[in-house]
Amino acid sequence: MKLNRRHFMTGVAAAAILPLARPAFAQDKGLIAIITPSHDNPFFKAEAVGAEARAIELGYETIIMVHDDDPNKQSELFDSAIARGANAIILDNAGADATVAAVQRAKDAGIPSFLIDREIKESGIAVSQIVSNNYQGAQLGAEEFVRLMGEAGNYVELVGREADTNAGIRSSGYHDIIDQYPYLVMAAQQSANWSQTEGYEKMETILQANPDIKGVICGNDTMAMGAWAALEAAGRTDVIVVGFDGSNDVRDSILAGGIKATVLQPAYRQAQIAVEQADAYLTDGSTGQDEKQLMDCVLINADNAANLETFALSS
C-alpha cells in the first residue's frame, strides 16, 4: 500500500513536471505556413518574425514564404502549403480580389487561413481577418499633418499600390480630414506603389513642377523615406513629411529631426494574434471572435518615437 502510494505520488510529480518539459518535444502540433509580401519592407518582416515566434512557442513548425505582391506567385505558394500538408496559413495577401480564389482553395483542402494587415473582398472564406484600423490611423496622421501645416499650404500625397485596399482606405482617411480645411491645397497626388525607390523618383519629379510645396503625406513609411531622401537631396528639409506604419527607419528619422510623424500599426502583435487564433481554431474549432477584426493604430511623433521598436510601442 505504501509502495503504491509512493508510485502514485511519483506519477503526480512527473505529471507536474511534464508541462515544463514540453518544449523539448514540441513541434508536434503541425505546420503553420506564414506567407507575406517581400521582407525588403521591414513591416512584413516584423509580421513574419512575430508569427513565427508565437507559432514556435505554441508548439508548431513553421514555413515562411514571400509572394512579392504577385498573385500568381501567391497562388503557387498556396499550392505548396497545401502539398506540404500545412495545418493553417497566416497570410498578408497579394490583392483583395485576386486572393479570394487561393484562400478558397486552401479552405476546400481543409486548411484554414488567418489574414493579417490586408483584407479580402469576401467574408466567410478565411477564418479571421485581423487588420489595422487604417481609417482611424490615417485620420490620426492627417490631424497631425494639418496641425504641422498650420491648416494651410500646398501639399503632395503619395499613395500606395492601387490594387491594395489599404492604399484606398488611408487616402480616404487622410482626405476626410484634410479636405475640410479649405486652405490646404493638394498640388499633386501620385502612386509610388509602396516603394522607396519610386517614392524618391516621384518626389523628385513633383518637386521640380511644384517647388512651392510645404508638406508631403504618404501612404506608408517606405515611400516617406524615399520622399524625404529626395527632399534632402534637393535641400528642401523644410518640407513636412508624414508617413504610415511606424518603422524603425522613420522612427530614427523623426528622432533626428527629419520626417515629422508616422502612424504605428501594431504589426508584430497582430501577427501573433493571428497565430493564437489559428491555435484556438485548430484546438477548439473556434477562435471565439468575429471573422473581421480591427486593431487601432497609434500616432508616433517626436514625443513617443523613442519608445518604438520593431512595430511595437513600449510604455
Interaction site with another protein (CB under 8 A): 96, 119, 121, 123, 130-131, 133-136, 139, 143, 165-166, 168-169, 172-173, 176-177, 180-181, 266, 273, 289-296
Residue with cell 506540404: 84
Q: How far apart are CA 299 and CA 139, in angstroms?
A: 10
Pick the closer one to another protein by CB: 84 or 292: 292
Residues sharing a CB contact under 8 Å with residue 147, sequence separation 6 or more, in sequence order: none
Exposed/middle/buried for 2, CB within 10 Å: 0-12, 13-18, 19+?
exposed
Pick the closer one to another protein by CB: 86 or 148: 148
Pick the closer one to another protein by CB: 87 or 129: 129
What b/e sequence results for 289-312 when a residue is b if at least 16 CB atoms lie within 10 Å of its CB, and e otherwise? eeeebebebbbbbeebbeebebbb
Q: How far is the CB of 299 from another protein (least distance, A)?
A: 12
Q: How far apart are CA 63 and CA 35, in angstroms?
A: 8
Q: How far is the CB of 293 from another protein (least distance, A)?
A: 4
Q: How far apart are CA 228 and CA 225, in angstroms?
A: 5
Q: How far is the CB of 165 from another protein (least distance, A)?
A: 5
Q: How far is the CB of 290 from another protein (least distance, A)?
A: 5
Pick the closer one to another protein by CB: 135 or 252: 135
Q: How far is the CB of 227 from another protein (least distance, A)?
A: 24
Pick the closer one to another protein by CB: 78 or 174: 174
Q: How far apart are CA 297 and CA 212, in angstroms?
A: 31
